Amino acid sequence: MNKETKLMLQLNTSGAWRNMVQFEVDRRDEVLRATHIFAGVLGKGAKWSILHADGKREWLPDLMGPWKPIGVMSPRPITDVMVCCIDGDGDRQVFMAYRRNSPGQPPTWTLSGTDDVRVPGRVYAWTSVVENAPEPTAMSTVAA
């Protein structure tokens, strides 16, 4: 990977990782949108990751499902979403949370309904919050 390029999108379809595209960090959201299109063509057998310049691999969630990888600005800050995280023991958990961005610092994830309780572990995927079912217009009553 050359010095100017910060990230490498990789694909694994048959046990070996292949380099797909090198890109700058600020193009991450565009590359992830395009990756969703490729995932739809290749199907569930494809595994995706982003290789960082320091050699660390960032696993992307199942791109065929409702979960989306965390982007530079997705999801939008201060919007409640469902997030997946991995804690220090490697256990995966799901929380309702929102993103907070501070200039010059990585985003933080705060549990919805709080101002300062952080999501434990590393957040790696998000999806929209499921909407409430509409209230029925006529409630049936049952005689006691």
Q: Rounded mean pLDDT of 48-62?
A: 86
Q: What is the structure's pLDDT at 22?
A: 94
Q: What is the structure's pLDDT at 23?
A: 92
pLDDT tens, 68-95?
A: 888 878 888 899 999 988 888 878 888 9
7-11, 30-34, 140-144: which has the highest mean pLDDT? 7-11
Could you write out the DSSP letters of every residue in 79-95? Answer: --EEEEEE-TTS-EEEE
**Surface-to-core class of residue 79, CB atoms within 10 Å of its CB (0-12 exposed, 13-18 middle, 19+ buried):** middle
pLDDT greater at residue 11 or residue 33: 11
